[in-house]
Amino acid sequence: MTALAHILKARIAATGPMTLADYMADCLLHPAHGYYATRDPFGRGGDFTTAPEISQMFGEVMGLCLAQAWLDQGRPTPFTLAELGPVRGTLMADILRATRAVPGLHAAARVMLVEASPTLRKVQRATLGDHAVTWLDGVDDLPQAPLFLIANEFFDALPIRQFTRQGDGWAETVVGLDADRLTMGRTPPAPLAALSHRLTDTPIGGIVETCPAAPPIMARIGATIAARGGAALIVDYGDWRSRGDTFQALKDHRFTDPLAEPGEADLTAHVDFEALARAAAPARSSHLIPQGVLLRRLGIDARAERLAQRLTGAALQSHLAAHHRLTDDREMGSLFKALAIHPPHLPPPPGFDPSDA
C-alpha cells in the first residue's frame, strides 16, 4: 500500500468520504507523495506520452501560430509568453526554437511557466537551458500584459467532481472506505444549481463531470486577453460538453484502477470545453476543432516532409509514425481538440474558425 493510501484512509475514517476532486488533488499534487510532485511522468519509460514528447513538430507549428497572432496584433512589447503545466519544458523549448527567426519576438517575450511541482520546475530549467524563464504558482501571478499562452493536456489533470443524475437531483461520486479498502460510492441526490443547464441533455442515470478549478483559471486568462490583447491555445482530450464517466488512471501506458495505488498513477478526466469557453468571457472563443485539423491548417504536413528529407531508416519510420499519430483521425488527430481564446474585436489566431456565438 502506498504512503498516500494510508494518509487518505485515515482522513476518510476521521471525516467521511471525499469528493473525487479532493482525491485527485492529493493523488496528483500532494507535496510529499503526489504523482507530479515526486516524478517526471515521462521518465523511466514513462506512464504516458503527449504530443510535444511525440514530435518537435507539435511545438513548432503551435509556436508559429502564437507568433503569427503576435505579429497580427502589432507586435505588442513586452508580452507574456506563457505555458500551463509544462512537465519537461519540451513544448516551450520547441516554441522558442521555432520562433527564433521572428524579428523582435524573443526580445519582447517574457517567458512564464505555471507549474505546481518543484520537481518538474527543475526538469524544465534543464530543458530550457539559458533562456530567461519565470515560474509562477498560478495564473493569478501573470502580469497585466498582452498574453500569448498555450496549455496542452493541462486541464485534463485538474481535479474533477462527478455527478449522476437521479430525478432532478444529482448524486456525487465520492471515495470512501469498505472495511480497509478505498471504494467508490455516491452521496444521496440533491439539486445543484450549477448543473441546471444539464438537466435538458442528461438522461436519468447519466453522468456529468465538472472541474471547479478550471473556470477561475480561464476567467483570469480571458480577462487579460480581452483587456491587453493576446491569444490562448488550449489543446486537450474532451469535447464541447462533458458526457459520461471519463475519470481514468494510467500507469506504464496502461489503464489501471484509479483507487489502487494513490499517487503512483496519472489521473485525468476529459475536458468540458464549453465550461472553459464560457469562463473566458469577455474574451471570445473560437470553434472547438480537432487537433489534426488544426495541425494540418498550420502546415504540419509540409514541415513533416521537410524533416523527412533529412532522415533515413528507423529515424524516418519513427518520424512518419509520429506525424500519423498526431494528425490521424483514428489517433490523437480527432481524440484531442483545440480551442483558441482571443480578444473580442479580433479574429482568432491562424488555423481556427471564428466563433459565431
Binding site for ligand SAH (CB under 6 A): 29, 36, 50, 52-53, 85-87, 91, 114-117, 120, 138, 152-154, 157
Q: How far apart are CA 86 and CA 317, in angstroms?
A: 27
Min dist CB 50 to ligand SAH, Å, is 3
In three-state secondary structure terms, 41 is coil
Min dist CB 21 to ligand SAH, Å, is 11
Min dist CB 29 to ligand SAH, Å, is 6
- Considering the complex, state which of residue 138 and residue 143 has its C-beta at the smaller distance from ligand SAH: 138
Cell of residue 25, nine digits: 488533488
The residue whose Cβ lies closest to ligand SAH is 85
- Considering the complex, state which of residue 114 and residue 293 has its C-beta at the smaller distance from ligand SAH: 114
- Considering the complex, state which of residue 69 and residue 91 has its C-beta at the smaller distance from ligand SAH: 91
DSSP bridge partners of 134: 112
Min dist CB 205 to ligand SAH, Å, is 31
Q: How far apart are CA 266 and CA 249, in angstroms?
A: 5
Min dist CB 263 to ligand SAH, Å, is 13
Q: How far apart are CA 84 and CA 233, in angstroms?
A: 11
- Considering the complex, state which of residue 58 and residue 170 has its C-beta at the smaller distance from ligand SAH: 58
Pairing mode of beta strands 147-152, 18-19: unpaired
- Considering the complex, state which of residue 38 and residue 256 has its C-beta at the smaller distance from ligand SAH: 38
Query: Sheet of 248-251: strands edge to edge?
Result: 254-256, 248-251, 266-268
Q: How far apart are CA 95 and CA 350, in angstroms?
A: 16
The answer, yes or no, to whether the previous bond of 282 is cis (omega within 30 of 0) is yes
Min dist CB 240 to ligand SAH, Å, is 21
DSSP bridge partners of 272: 239
- Considering the complex, state which of residue 250 and residue 316 has its C-beta at the smaller distance from ligand SAH: 250
Pairing mode of beta strands 284-285, 336-342: antiparallel
Min dist CB 136 to ligand SAH, Å, is 8
Cβ-Cβ contacts under 8 Å for 171 (sequence gap 6 or more): 163, 164, 186, 187, 188, 189, 190
Cell 463531470, residue? Answer: 209
Cell of residue 330, nine digits: 483514428
- Considering the complex, state which of residue 94 and residue 172 has its C-beta at the smaller distance from ligand SAH: 94
